[in-house]
Amino acid sequence: MGDEITSELLRSRFSEVRKNLPPDLALRLHRSLSWIERAEKEAEDVDAAFIFYWISFNAAYARDIPESYETEERALFSDYFDKIVRFDVNGSVYDAIWSRFSGPIRLLLNNRYVFQPFWRHHNQPQTHRNWEDLFVRGQKIIGLALVHQDTRVVLNILFDRLYVLRNQLFHGGATWNSGVNRRQVRDGAQIMAFLVPHFIELMMDHPDAGWGPPYYPVVD
C-alpha cells in the first residue's frame, strides 16, 4: 500500500489490457499516460511538472460540460472522486491522504492563496467581503473530514485548492520559477505525481465504471 507507480509500469499494464477496454476509456488512459510520462521528465521544474500532471488528471476525468464551467467542474470532481474512493480497496489513495502527504495536504488546505474567494475579495473587495467567513467555514468542514478520515471530502477540497493553483499557472497569474508561492507548487506537484498514477491504475482496474467519453474525442 502506498507504493509509487511509474509511467513505465502503467504503460506496460495498459499495453496488456488495452484491447479489453472500452474505446473511450482507452483513449482517456492513453492521453493521460502520455502526460504522466512527460511530467516525470521535470524533476527540477515543479511548475512544469504540476502543469503536466494536471493535464494528465484532466484527461482522466474531464467531460463535456455546459457554460457554467466552474460549478460543473467541481461536480465532475465529486463524481470522479466518488468512484476513486469506492474502488480504492487496497488503500493507496487513502494512505497518501492520511500518511504519506498528510503534512503538505494540511498546509495546502490552510493556505489562503489557493482559496478562490480570497482572490475574488482581493480583485473585487466591494462585492466579495466575506472570504474570511467562507474560509473559516471551510476549515470546519475540513476539520470534521480529518477527524473522520473522510477521504472523499478531503480529495474534493484538496483538488478544489489545487484547481486554484492550476488557474494561477495556466492563466499567467504566476511567474515561472518564482520565489513566491514555491511551497504550494512544489507540494502540489508531489501530491499530483503520486495520486494521478494511482487514479489511472484504478480506472484500468474498473473499466466498466462509466468514466464517460473523453472531452475531445478523435474525429476523422
Instruction: Express each pLDDT in 7-21 by its tens digit.
Output: 999 999 999 999 999
Report the C-alpha gap between 12 and 15 in whole angstroms.
5
* Residue 71 clears pLDDT 80, i.e. is over it: no
Report the 10 Å Cβ neighbour count for 47.
Answer: 19
Q: Which three cell numbers, joined as nine digits, stand for 29?
A: 488512459
Residue 129 has pLDDT above 80, yes or no: no
Domain assignment present for 138: yes
| SS3 state of residue 2 | coil
Domain membership of residue 139 (yes or no) is yes
Q: How confident is the model at residue 66 (pLDDT cuts 50, 70, 90)?
A: low
Calculate the average pLDDT of the chain.
91
Q: Is residue 214 part of a domain?
A: no
DSSP state, residue 179: S
Closest CA to 82 of 210, 190, 215: 210
Q: Is residue 158 part of a domain?
A: yes
* Percent of the chain as helix, strand, coil, to the nearest 5: 70, 0, 30
What's the confidence (pLDDT) of residue 30?
97
Given a cut of 90, is residue 94 above it in pLDDT?
yes
Quick check: is 11 in a domain?
yes
Any domain includes 70: yes
pLDDT at 88 over 80: yes
pLDDT score of 69 more than 60: no
121 Cβ neighbours under 8 A, 6+ residues apart: 128, 129, 130, 131
Instruction: Say if 21 falls within a structural domain.
Output: yes
Query: Does the pTM exceed 0.95?
Result: no
For 73, half-sphere exposure in the C-beta direction (CA atoms, 13 angstrom radius) is 14
For 12, the grid coordinates are 506496460
* Type of residue numbered 189: A
Q: Does the residue 57 lie in any domain?
A: yes
Q: Which domain holds residue 136?
A: 7-205
For 145-194, the pLDDT digits (tens) are 988 999 999 999 999 999 999 999 999 998 998 887 788 999 999 999 99
Question: In terms of C-beta density within 10 A (0-12 exposed, 13-18 middle, 19 or more buried), how is residue 34 classed?
Answer: middle
The total of structural domains in the chain comes to 1
- Helix (H/G/I), strand (E/B), else coil: 124: coil
Share of the chain above pLDDT 90, in %: 77
User: Which among 93, 36, 85, 87 is positioned nearest to 60, based on CA atoms?
Assistant: 36
Q: Which has the closest alpha carbon to 37: 175, 153, 196?
A: 196
Contact (Cβ atoms closer than 8 angstroms) between residue 73 and residue 215? no
pLDDT, position 57:
97
pLDDT classification of 105: cutoffs 50, 70, 90: very high
- Structure confidence at residue 92 (pLDDT): 94
Phi, psi of 34 (to 5 degrees): -60, -35
